[in-house]
Structure 1
Amino acid sequence: MGKIDGWQFNDAALDDDVRKIQMAAQTRLAQTPLWTPESARGIREARARGGGLYLPVYHSPRARMIEIPGPGGVVLLRVIAPANPRGIYLHMHGGGWFMGGADLQDPRLEIIAERAQLACVSVDYRLTPEHPYPAAPDDCEAAALWILANAEAEFGTEIVTIGGESSGAHLALVTLLRLRDKHAIVLAGANLIFGFFDLTLTPSARMFGDDRIAPRTTDLRSYVRAFAPKGELTAPDISPLYADLKNLCPALFTVGTQDPLLDDSLFMYMRWLSSGNDGELAVYAGGIHNFIAFPSRIAQEAEDRAIAFLKHVSCQ
């Protein structure tokens, strides 16, 4: 049986709390409306309200908003920062490019702000299906350039890291590539959590099927069609797994074994190393998509490792 970081790919050895999360996810997702372009707005609004089938919503009293110019109008940045940050964490939220928001990440960003002493800045990029590619990557690129230009004045530091979850990890990596290729800029580090890096679908995504423990294969295909209805899906700006990955920053890839996007992280990690970059891979047995949002030992371990990584790259 293969191992990564000591974890066996063996469901028989799963912790009880991980099993409970899997069962709760199956129950919840079985009641969630199936995604279609027509249902996207309703699902998005229900997620933003929280409760019921969706996770509770907590808004930090510490958060403040910054408006910056973007290619499609104003882009909102949500900031949660300690008094004297050692660096900046530029964050892209997940949600299949069609839901989620910068204001739905406050608990996680409060933890990073406190434990890693980073100013967390989450980008409220434009969402699909109303705003397909390249709207979201364009907004994230604009946010990154604004942060880089204003880091010292706004936060007293010029160290910038980046990260995100799922589609947010995708946007974070696309932003890294744009910064390198268009602006000759390399950030300090990337925290990429169960990212969607191959929009043609990796084997784990193709074979995941209809198990309602996570986004199904058909859901993933629908998200992709809404995000990139035109263009070649293997274009590096759409599927960064196909990009030239040389001369990029250290990265931590985090994923669970029960995630349809498992192969995205496995493949990207190996390509990252083979391109000459520093990288770490953390795979958590039994972890479903978004497992870090549910209390469990593996969620705590993933949080601890991400904090340690962000601290390390922010001190270089």
Structure 2
Amino acid sequence: MASPVQFDPAAFDPANAPADALAVNAAILKRMASWDTWGAPIEEIRKLRREGNGPFPPPVVSARAEAIEIDGKHGPITLRLIAPSRPKGVYLHLHGGGWTVGTADMHDMALERLVDRAGVACISVDYRLAPEHPYPQGPDDCESAALWLVREAKRRFGTDRLVIGGESAGAHLSAVTLLRLRDRHGLTPFRGANLHAGCYDLALTPSARRFGAEKLILNTRDIEMFVRHFLLHGGDVRSPDISPLHADLKGMPPALFTVGTRDALVDDSLFMAARWASAGNSASLEVYPAGCHVFIGFPGSNTDKCLARIDRFVAEACA
């Protein structure tokens, strides 16, 4: 039987907020004061974020990365690979960005770290983005990438020890992909799920609904707009394929849920971790005081601890 989900509620006490986390949050709020997330066409928003004009710094692209193309239901899908000479396992990464912004190469440095610290090969998926390619196209691409990896991992990487994960919308897509592989293909090939700051209920959990307008990376309006883009052609927010919090979660792999207390999506991780464990799966929940949405994108003590925990989780899942 799986162990009960436990976390320290003291993380929610403002008195326990690390000074560096508070400084990061203050800097983000100052930077975002003049940023209108939805004040330009989506193509322009993507360009501005890539240039570092949004909440996150500009990405650094890895010279170690290789891009390949695989076939998907809606056409070719680009996969970005960074690998050591003898991988202990393979990590399938699904990037965040509200199903609407972001690319695989924007996470090169984080994946390089995981390659070097956990000894795994990393594959990040450039899935199709809404609103040009709304649901179900993005999840379809992630499903295709996962099926390709199941077929090709042993031949290409010499190992079939697989872990899946991502941040924000990427954590959502990771859960959806696990459910699709189980329900559509009878497959449970992943040994772990690294789920950081995910959105698992697109009807919005209480923390998402109550967060308000404060521009600490992600606010209530942002979540609503991202969902509107993702579901441009409609979809039932109670469907497990759209909101995996509503799914039958039996047979899921061990999962690590990490989230900050100042994240609009904190309830998503609290609720999903509890449901994951109640279905008989192993679930670990780590809550970081004063952490903003995807705080691991910024330097600080929370980030150091969280990334070290993720490194250990992925390495142990592939041991």
Percent of residue pairs bearing the same amino acid type: 49
Aligned to 2:106: 104
Listed as ranges, the matches of 1:63-142 within 5 Å are 63-142=65-144
Give the superposition deviation at 1:17. Answer: 0.6
Q: TM (normalized to structure 2)? A: 0.95
Is the CA contact (8 Å cut-off) linking 2:50 and 2:58 kept in structure 1?
no
1:73 alignment partner, SS class: coil
2:14 is aligned with 1:11: yes
Q: Structure 1: how far apart are the matches of 2:253 and 2:44?
A: 38
User: Which of 28, 33, 46 is 2:36 aligned to?
Assistant: 33
Aligned to 1:274: 278
2:184 is aligned with 1:182: yes
Give the superposition deviation at 1:47. Answer: 1.6
Deviates more, 1:226-235 or 1:260-269: 226-235
Is the CA contact (8 Å cut-off) linking 1:129 and 1:226 kept in structure 2?
yes
Distance 1:200 1:147, change over 3 A: same
Give the superposition deviation at 1:50. Answer: 3.0
Is the CA contact (8 Å cut-off) linking 1:7 and 1:284 kept in structure 2?
no
Q: TM (normalized to structure 1)? A: 0.96
Is the CA contact (8 Å cut-off) linking 1:46 and 1:54 kept in structure 2?
no
Distance 1:273 1:115, change over 3 A: same
Is the CA contact (8 Å cut-off) linking 1:7 and 1:283 kept in structure 2?
no
Give the superposition deviation at 1:48. Answer: 2.1
Q: Structure 2: how far apart are the matches of 1:202 and 1:155?
A: 39
Aligned to 1:291: 295
1:277 alignment partner, SS class: coil
User: How many residues end up aligned between the 2 structures?
Assistant: 312
> What amino acid maps onto 1:246 in structure 2?
K
Deviates more, 1:257-266 or 1:205-214: 205-214
Q: Structure 1: how far apart are the matches of 2:307 and 2:206?
A: 27
> What amino acid maps onto 1:179 in structure 2?
L
CA RMSD of aligned residues (A): 1.4
Distance 1:54 1:278, change over 3 A: closer
1:8 alignment partner, SS class: helix
Distance 1:16 1:231, change over 3 A: same
Distance 1:53 1:221, change over 3 A: closer
Render the CA deviation track for 1:43-83: whole Å, top value 9, x for unaligned.
11122233576412201100001100011111000001111
Q: Which has the higher contact order (CA 8 A, sep 6+)?
A: 2
Q: Structure 2: how far apart are the matches of 1:274 and 1:117?
A: 31
Residue ranges of structure 2 left out of the alignment (5+ in a row): 1-5
Q: Structure 1: how far apart are the matches of 2:275 and 2:308?
A: 25
Aligned to 1:240: 244
Give the superposition deviation at 1:8. Answer: 2.9
Deviates more, 1:11-20 or 1:122-131: 11-20
User: Which of 199, 206, 209 is 1:206 aligned to?
Assistant: 209
1:225 alignment partner, SS class: helix
Distance 1:90 1:278, change over 3 A: same
2:253 is aligned with 1:252: no
Aligned to 1:216: 219
Give the superposition deviation at 1:13. Answer: 2.4
> What amino acid maps onto 2:90 in structure 1?
I
Give the superposition deviation at 1:27. Answer: 1.3
Aligned to 2:3: none
Aligned to 1:58: 60
Aligned to 1:166: 168
